[in-house]
């Protein structure tokens, strides 16, 4: 009770936004101030050095020692002007988070004065320290690719991502050098290397296709294509004091016990509701920190579930977007702490209300700024658009199960397939208009309706809505309605991969998507080659023939209906689309030749690297479930049973005292009777859980068997114990209950 009262009386922490001319600084004045941007580099570096750097960014040259030294010196001076004492290579091991090891700029220099050594201290950052570091990294997940006796791993500066400053202690700061992490033999041990590889091959194959369909009248030849990514981050915020009273949340990130309060999300009043002031204060401080880091935060709002919120940035080039999403999660975590709040990134912290996702908005953009997924006013005439749209569909058609593997985890399993998130079937939603466009091309007939004059609007492609109120302005309707149930929806000029989990790094799913699309583009290019024959370019007819060909091949992966319905599950089965319900099944797909061969062919994962991923993911899954089992066991034995026993004792003592004075004790006895079978079942459940934990500990060398056991035995044992613990929660006297309940967790912010 005292904790609740304390948390209720907490005033929001207010930070003073830095002022300028008597007003808070504008975002544009803060944005990127802690980033060693291209602009900073160009003003601080000698021209030839900066040009060498740019040439290496284009992949035309590698950085020599002198250039590296010059860049390192400029970065150090810039950082030291802003209070930096340390630097770190910042990298992304396969842990869904980031890793760093700080080194100070301190170097000792000896001088000799009349034969006596004098040691002097100087601040340095050398080119080789900038380029490469060797963390003693044997304790990162490597999936068997590296054992402790050959523990060398290297972090290498990722020149594509700018360096930045983060706060250090006592007002100092630390220079962060974004890096990749590879093994002694050059295998990818991290999330970044494979993402970079996949972006490169996607670009290469996209350019191949664009070259084939090049319009001879257009002078600009595309030389670069990049993937754009916007990540909508959902999360829960709860009171930190209450959080500390929940071992399950602290250890596993989700509640393992707890039933729904009478009022949760059924009134649909939280979504887009007024943001609680304490939360708004935290959000705003978080955005302030992120602006300084150059993260383009755009949108903040309440989400559907109680205590659930969202932060969405403006999209950026994929690798930068991934860095920025990881920074966002880190900053949210730290700032929430300052506000005595706890942020939960788990996909399903609370049973019975919506979970959190991280929608990945994905598109491809050329070096002249053309979005290849922009349908324009007449998509039926926009052949490049149709070709890239179909390549994406082909990727889904052939490798939907691989994409499903990319979003699988013990935590996301609770969300995918539950009735509020897309199921384990990967399909694509296109909307009425594009569906009609593809159908008409396939059936060799003109496009219906959408282009008739009365359907044309002021806005490209849309139609005007009549609101029947004279004073309201006309609005243009979008080309398509939304489909919130689709795991992969076309939303205007991009695909939205909606099934991605809130907690995970989006690097792996985006890498797999890029790879599959790159592979599909390779097929498209081959088909275009075939059609064009000896001609220099594929003509319009050639392109339409190819488009038709791919429309036929990708029909099955298109679905416009309700993805949550049972009818879809049946229909998908008829179409031969895999319905992958859990992580164990999903990870197995990484080992299928169809997927592994493709990933090797596009040069993103060697077989060995892929196997190591599989191993790491499956092992992590099993460990996560195992930790949940142990946590629940401890909570029941040490907290829930004692609480129920204390309540029983009070009831029993009350009953016997009442009997002694000849007053009726039936009400007490009735509750006691209700409690007994639940307790018996709970104890039996605990015995079974212990058995399953022991059995899982016995599986020592077969990672697949361990994963299977976690999914088929441990998880049901956990669910079984939970059902009785939840039943107890609803009848044991509130003052006996040792855990804050959902009501308190949801409402005390």
Binding site for ligand ADP (CB under 6 A): 228-230, 232, 312-315, 361-363, 371, 491-494
For the bound state, the minimum distance from the C-beta of residue 404 to ligand ADP, rounded and expressed in Å, comes to: 21
Instruction: Dihedral sign for Cα 514, 519, 520, 522, please.
Output: positive
Q: Which CB sits closer to ligand ADP, 229 or 721?
A: 229
C-beta separation of 651 from 672 below 8 A = yes
CA distance 121 to 110: 9
Residue 329: exposure state from Cβ atoms within 10 A (0-12, 13-18, ≥19): buried
Residue with smaller CB distance to ligand ADP, 358 or 722: 358
What's the min distance (Å) between Cβ of 297 and ligand ADP? Answer: 10
**Coil, helix or strand at residue 135:** coil
Q: Distance between alpha carbon 515 and the CA centroid of its chain, in Å?
A: 18
Residue linked to tokens 């559907």: 304
Residue with smaller CB distance to ligand ADP, 363 or 582 = 363
Please, what is the Cα angle at 517 between 348 and 596, to 5 degrees?
75
Closest CA to 428 of 497, 503, 354, 363: 497
Shortest Cβ 202–ligand ADP spacing (Å)? 14
Of 301 and 601, the one with the shorter C-beta distance to ligand ADP is 301
What is the β-pairing status of strands 116-123 and 132-133? Answer: unpaired
What are the E-state strand segments in 169-209?
A: 173-183
352 or 492: CB nearest ligand ADP: 492
Q: Which residue lies nearer to ligand ADP by CB, 173 or 198?
A: 198
Shortest distance, position 509 Cβ to ligand ADP, whole Å = 14
- Looking at beta carbons only, is 310 or 668 nearer to ligand ADP? 310
Structural contact between residues 622 and 707, judged by C-beta atoms closer than 8 angstroms: yes
Nearest approach in angstroms of CB 52 to ligand ADP is 31
Q: How many residues does the chain have?
A: 749
- What minimum distance in Å lies between the beta carbon of 321 and ligand ADP? 8
**Residues 342, 289 contacting (CB under 8 angstroms):** no
CA distances from 671 to 551, 651, 664, 695, 723 (A): 64, 8, 14, 36, 18
Q: Are 415 and 582 in contact (CB under 8 A)?
A: no
Least separation in angstroms between residue 314's CB and ligand ADP is 4
**Least distance between ligand ADP and beta carbon 441 (Å):** 23
Sign of CA dihedral 695, 696, 702, 705: positive
Residues 503 and 411: beta-carbon distance below 8 Å: yes
Q: Where are the beta strands (DSSP E) in 25-79?
A: 35-36
Judged by DSSP in three states, 477 sits in strand
Question: Under a CB-based contact definition with an 8 Å cutoff, are residues 305 and 354 in contact?
Answer: yes
What's the closest the beta carbon of residue 432 comes to ligand ADP, in angstroms? 16
Q: How far apart are CA 550 and CA 444, in angstroms?
A: 14
Q: How far is the CB of 232 from ligand ADP (least distance, A)?
A: 6
Closest contact distance (angstroms) between CB of 57 and ligand ADP is 22
Sign of the Cα pseudo-torsion (359, 364, 370, 373, in order): negative
When the beta carbons of 311 and 643 are compared against ligand ADP, the nearer one is 311
Number of Cβ within 10 Å of residue 240's Cβ equals 17
Q: Output 229 or 546, the one with its CB closest to ligand ADP.
A: 229
Q: Select the residue whose beta carbon is closest to ligand ADP and give its number.
A: 230
Least Å from the CB of residue 557 to ligand ADP: 21
Query: Which residues fall within 8 angstroms of residue 723, CB to CB, at 6 or more apart?
Result: none
- CB 370, min distance to ligand ADP, A: 11
Shortest CB 32 distance to ligand ADP, Å: 17
Nearest-approach distance from CB 227 to ligand ADP, in angstroms: 8
Residue 351, classed as helix, strand or coil, is coil
Side-chain-side CA neighbours of residue 114 (13 Å): 0
Compute the distance between CA of residue 202 and CA of residue 490 in angstroms, rounded to an integer: 19
In the complex with ligand ADP, which residue's Cβ is closer, 395 or 678? 395
Q: How far is the CB of 340 from ligand ADP (least distance, A)?
A: 29
- Measured from the CB atom, the residue of 328 and 612 that comes closer to ligand ADP is 328
The residue whose two tokens read 């044992």 is: 717
Nearer to ligand ADP (CB atom), residue 313 or residue 423: 313
- Closest approach, Cβ 325 to ligand ADP, in A, equals 10
Looking at beta carbons only, is 414 or 494 nearer to ligand ADP? 494
Contact 650, 740 (CB under 8 A): no
Cα separation, 48 vs 30, whole angstroms: 30
* The dihedral sign for the CA sequence 595, 600, 601, 604: positive
Nearer to ligand ADP, 336 or 510 (CB): 510
The residue among 85 and 361 lying less far from ligand ADP, judged by its C-beta, is 361
CB of 230 to ligand ADP, least distance (A): 3
Q: Kindly tell me which of 291 and 315 has the beta carbon lying closer to ligand ADP.
A: 315
Residue among 329 and 546 whose Cβ is closer to ligand ADP: 329
The number of beta carbons lying within 10 Å of the beta carbon of residue 442 is 13
Long-range contacts of 416-422 (CB under 8 A, 24+ apart): 416/499, 416/581, 417/581, 418/348, 418/355, 419/564, 420/354, 420/355, 420/564, 421/354, 421/355, 421/357, 421/499, 422/485, 422/486, 422/487, 422/498, 422/499, 422/563, 422/564
Between β-strands 35-36 and 84-91, what pairing exists: parallel, antiparallel or unpaired?
unpaired
Measured from the CB atom, is 155 or 480 closer to ligand ADP?
480
């Amino acid at each position: 009770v005292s904790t609740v009262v304390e948390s209720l009386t907490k005033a929001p922490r207010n930070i003073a936004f830095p002022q300028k001319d008597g007003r808070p600084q504008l975002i544009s004045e803060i944005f990127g101030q802690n980033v060693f941007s291209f602009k900073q580099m160009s003003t601080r570096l000698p021209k030839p050095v900066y040009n060498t750097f740019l040439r290496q960014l284009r992949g035309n040259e590698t950085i020599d020692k002198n250039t590296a030294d010059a860049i390192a010196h400029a970065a150090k001076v810039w950082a030291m002007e802003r209070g930096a004492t340390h630097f770190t290579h910042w990298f992304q091991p396969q842990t869904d988070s980031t890793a760093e090891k700080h080194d100070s700029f301190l170097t000792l220099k000896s001088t000799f004065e009349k034969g006596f050594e004098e040691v002097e201290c100087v601040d340095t950052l050398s080119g080789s320290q900038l380029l490469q570091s060797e963390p003693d990294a044997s304790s990162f997940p490597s999936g068997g690719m590296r054992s402790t006796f050959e523990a060398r791993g290297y972090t290498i500066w990722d020149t594509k991502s700018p360096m930045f400053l983060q706060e250090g202690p006592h007002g100092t700061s630390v220079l962060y050098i974004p890096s990749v992490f590879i093994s002694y033999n050059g295998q990818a041990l991290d999330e970044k290397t494979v993402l970079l590889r996949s972006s490169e091959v996607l670009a290469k194959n996209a350019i191949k296709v664009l070259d084939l369909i090049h319009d001879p009248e257009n002078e600009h030849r595309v030389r670069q294509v990049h993937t754009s990514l916007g990540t909508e981050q959902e999360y829960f915020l709860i009171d930190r004091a209450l959080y500390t009273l929940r071992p399950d949340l602290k250890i596993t990130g989700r509640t393992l016990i707890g039933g729904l309060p009478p009022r949760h999300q059924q009134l649909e009043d939280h979504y887009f509701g007024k943001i609680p002031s304490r939360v708004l204060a935290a959000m705003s401080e978080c955005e302030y920190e992120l602006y300084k880091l150059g993260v383009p935060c755009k949108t903040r709002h309440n989400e559907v579930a109680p205590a659930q919120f969202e932060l969405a940035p403006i999209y950026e080039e994929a690798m930068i977007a991934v860095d920025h999403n990881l920074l966002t999660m880190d900053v949210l975590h730290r700032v929430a702490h300052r506000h005595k709040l706890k942020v939960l990134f788990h996909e399903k912290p609370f049973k019975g209300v919506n979970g959190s996702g991280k929608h990945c908005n994905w598109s491809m953009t050329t070096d002249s700024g053309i979005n290849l997924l922009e349908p324009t006013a007449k998509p039926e005439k926009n052949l490049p658009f149709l070709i890239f749209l179909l390549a994406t569909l082909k990727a889904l058609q052939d490798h939907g199960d691989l994409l499903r593997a990319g979003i699988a985890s013990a935590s996301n399993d609770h969300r995918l397939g539950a009735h509020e998130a897309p199921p384990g079937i990967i399909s694509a939603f296109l909307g009425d208009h594009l569906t009609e466009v593809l159908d008409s091309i396939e059936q060799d007939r003109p496009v219906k309706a959408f282009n008739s004059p009365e359907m044309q609007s002021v806005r490209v492609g849309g139609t005007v809505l009549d609101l029947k109120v004279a004073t309201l302005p006309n609005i243009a309707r979008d080309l398509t309605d939304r489909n919130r149930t689709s795991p992969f929806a076309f939303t205007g000029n991009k695909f939205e991969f909606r099934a991605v989990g809130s907690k995970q790094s989006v690097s792996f799913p985006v890498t797999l998507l890029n790879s599959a699309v790159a592979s599909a583009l390779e097929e498209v290019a081959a088909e275009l080659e075939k059609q064009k024959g000896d001609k220099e370019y594929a003509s319009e007819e050639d392109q339409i023939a190819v488009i038709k060909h791919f429309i036929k091949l990708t029909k099955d992966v298109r679905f416009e209906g309700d993805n949550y319905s049972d009818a879809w599950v049946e229909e998908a089965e008829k179409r031969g689309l895999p319905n992958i319900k859990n992580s164990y099944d999903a990870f197995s797909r990484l080992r299928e030749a169809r997927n592994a061969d493709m990933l090797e062919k596009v040069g993103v994962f060697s077989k060995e690297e892929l196997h190591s991923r599989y191993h790491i993911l499956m092992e992590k899954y099993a460990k996560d479930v195992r930790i949940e089992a142990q946590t629940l066991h401890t909570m029941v034995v040490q907290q829930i049973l004692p609480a129920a026993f204390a309540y029983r004792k009070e009831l029993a003592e009350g009953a016997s005292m009442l009997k002694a004075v000849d007053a009726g004790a039936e009400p007490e006895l009735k509750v006691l009777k209700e409690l007994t079978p639940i307790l018996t079942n709970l104890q039996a459940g605990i015995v079974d859980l212990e058995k399953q934990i022991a059995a899982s500990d016995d599986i020592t060398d077969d990672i697949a068997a361990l994963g299977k056991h976690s999914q088929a035995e441990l998880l049901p044992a956990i669910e079984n114990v939970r059902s009785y613990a939840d039943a107890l929660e609803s009848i044991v006297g509130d003052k006996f209950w040792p855990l804050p309940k959902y009501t308190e967790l949801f409402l005390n912010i």
